[in-house]
């Protein structure tokens, strides 16, 4: 590609970050589909349906198994597409292998992620090998999948995976034994990060962490993430309502309904145009609301098996009313704070064309 060199080039960290984001983008439909379907089964057949679902006698058990089968692909899918992002098509098969191996080793999403990066790098090295022309055709279909999977698999099992499985056991124990204060702290950090850039890299990092835990069966941080994320656009709508004509222009006030609707869909990006115009005051307000909601979600142990879906998956959380209450609470805090902090419009304010593509 005739690449235009930029002043600041993408470094190795940037390449790895893009690869992980690619993996996540392919994993999201898997955990949403699997999570929501198993949650439906839990609603039909009781919260402990997972224990005896294998007998497949009732409809709920069948539904649970269908959803759970999809959910089992979460980490393999993440690994496969991280490896794909680095090394293109030949990365996919060994990537899947690393993801499944991570499940066997109980190293969860961290194991899958590290394995996938290893596989991606290894395949890239193999592609650079100078092989005789006669063998070139069989490289991608024969040597790359066999050698990469075997070498990386053995490396993961005997060397690299060992400290990761210790780390995961430590993290699992830690999450199970957190004190109330540390629970609130963790949830507040997740919530504040979610609202900091509304779908940007900081929020995505928090989402990566909670989604990874979700793929490993910890559903409480997921509610902290989603519920706090939903407070930002709700807060924006409330701020517009309270601020009224004095503080918001005609074009901005039209956005209130959009923000409200998108809050229900757990889409935060509608806040960004406002955030760009008034970064400090708005970001501070919504981070406070998000942090309180996130912290309380953790303290109350609110579980959300679905990582995405907003208001449509509230019924599947462990306590829907509490979820709605915390969502409104965070939104009101953010909204009231920002309505107070926001400066009134200047007298001669000309309404900018505020095109929000989220409307279309």
Partner 1 sequence: MFIVAVASCPVGIAHTYMAAANLKKAAQAKGIEIKVETQGATGIEDELTAEDIARADGAIIASDVRIKNPGRLEPVPTLTVGVSEAVKDAKSVIEELVEAIG
| Residue 257 found at the interface with partner 1 (CB under 8 A) | no
- DSSP string across 291-340: HHHHHHHHHHT---S-SS-GGGGGGGSS-HHHHHHHHHHHHHHHHHHHHH
| Residue 356: how many other CB atoms lie within 10 Å | 18
Q: x/- site string to partner 1, residues 119 to 158, per CB under 8 A?
A: ----------------------------------------
Q: Which of 46, 163, 173, 200 binds partner 1 (CB under 8 A)?
A: 200
How buried is 261 (Cβ within 10 angstroms: 0-12 exposed, 13-18 middle, 19+ buried)?
middle
| Residue 312: how many other CB atoms lie within 10 Å | 13
Could you tell me if 144 and 87 are in contact, meaning their C-beta atoms sit under 8 angstroms apart?
no
Site for partner 1, residues 169 to 198, rule: CB under 8 A: 197
Q: Which of 33, 185, 199, 325 binds partner 1 (CB under 8 A)?
A: 199
First-to-last CA distance in the chain?
A: 33
Could you tell me if 41 and 67 are in contact, meaning their C-beta atoms sit under 8 angstroms apart?
yes
| Residue 22 found at the interface with partner 1 (CB under 8 A) | yes
Q: Which stretch binds partner 1 (CB under 8 A): 99-107, 166-174, 267-275, 295-303?
A: 267-275
**Would you say 64 or 73 has its CB closer to partner 1?**
73
Q: Which stretch binds partner 1 (CB under 8 A): 14-22, 156-164, 179-187, 215-223?
A: 14-22
Could you tell me if 288 and 334 are in contact, meaning their C-beta atoms sit under 8 angstroms apart?
yes
Q: How many chain residues are in contact with partner 1, going by CB under 8 A?
A: 32
What SS3 class is residue 106?
coil
**Would you say 208 or 337 has its CB closer to partner 1?**
208
Site for partner 1, residues 273 to 292, rule: CB under 8 A: 276
| Residue 345: how many other CB atoms lie within 10 Å | 15
| Residue 96 found at the interface with partner 1 (CB under 8 A) | no
**Would you say 282 or 299 has its CB closer to partner 1?**
282
Q: Which of 2, 51, 134, 176 binds partner 1 (CB under 8 A)?
A: 2
Could you tell me if 253 and 240 are in contact, meaning their C-beta atoms sit under 8 angstroms apart?
yes
**Would you say 61 or 268 has its CB closer to partner 1?**
268
Query: Residue 204 and residue 324: Cα distance in Å, rounded?
Result: 23
Q: x/- site string to partner 1, residues 205 to 234, per CB under 8 A?
A: ------------------------------
Query: Residue 333 and residue 263: Cα distance in Å, rounded?
Result: 15
Q: Which stretch binds partner 1 (CB under 8 A): 168-176, 182-190, 269-277, 315-323?
A: 269-277
Q: Which stretch binds partner 1 (CB under 8 A): 22-30, 54-62, 134-142, 329-337?
A: 22-30
Query: Residue 103 and residue 156: Cα distance in Å, rounded?
Result: 12
Query: Residue 357 and residue 360: Cα distance in Å, rounded?
Result: 6
Q: Which stretch binds partner 1 (CB under 8 A): 43-51, 188-196, 242-250, 265-273?
A: 265-273
Task: Cite the DSSP H helix spans in 139-278.
Answer: 144-155, 161-176, 180-197, 201-215, 220-247, 250-253, 255-264, 272-277
Interface positions with partner 1 (CB under 8 A): 1-4, 6, 10, 17-19, 21-22, 24-25, 28-29, 84-85, 197, 199-201, 204, 267-269, 272, 276, 308, 355, 357-358, 360
């Amino acid at each position: 590609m005739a690449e235009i060199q930029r002043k600041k080039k993408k470094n190795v960290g940037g390449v790895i970050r893009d690869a992980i984001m690619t993996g996540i983008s392919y994993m999201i439909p898997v955990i949403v589909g699997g999570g929501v379907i198993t949650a439906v089964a839990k609603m039909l057949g009781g919260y402990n349906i997972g224990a005896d679902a294998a007998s497949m006698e009732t409809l709920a058990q069948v539904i649970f198994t269908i959803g759970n089968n999809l959910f089992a692909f979460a980490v393999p899918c993440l690994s496969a597409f991280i490896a794909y992002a680095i090394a293109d098509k030949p990365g996919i098969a060994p990537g899947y292998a690393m993801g499944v191996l991570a499940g066997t080793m109980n190293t969860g999403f961290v194991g899958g992620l590290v394995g996938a990066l290893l596989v991606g790098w290894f395949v890239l090295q193999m592609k650079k090998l100078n092989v005789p022309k006669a063998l070139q055709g069989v490289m991608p279909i024969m040597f790359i999948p066999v050698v990469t999977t075997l070498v990386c698999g053995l490396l993961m099992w005997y060397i690299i995976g060992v400290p990761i499985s210790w780390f995961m056991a430590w993290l699992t124990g830690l999450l199970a034994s957190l004190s109330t204060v540390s629970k609130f702290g963790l949830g507040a950090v997740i919530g504040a990060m979610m609202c900091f850039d509304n779908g940007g890299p900081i929020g995505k990092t928090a989402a990566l962490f909670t989604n990874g835990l979700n793929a490993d069966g910890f559903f409480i941080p997921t509610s902290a993430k989603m519920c706090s994320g939903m407070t930002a656009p709700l807060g924006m709508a409330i701020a517009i309502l309270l601020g009224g004509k004095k503080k918001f222009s005609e074009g901005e006030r039209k956005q209130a309904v959009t923000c409200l609707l998108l809050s229900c869909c757990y889409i935060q990006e509608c806040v960004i145009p406002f955030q760009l115009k008034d970064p400090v005051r708005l970001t501070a307000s919504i981070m406070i609301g998000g942090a309180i909601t996130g912290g309380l979600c953790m303290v109350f142990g609110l579980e959300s098996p679905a990582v995405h879906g907003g208001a449509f998956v509230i019924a599947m959380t462990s306590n829907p009313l509490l979820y709605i209450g915390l969502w409104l609470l965070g939104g009101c805090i953010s909204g009231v704070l920002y309505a107070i902090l926001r400066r009134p419009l200047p007298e001669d304010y000309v309404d900018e064309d505020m095109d929000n593509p989220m409307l279309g």
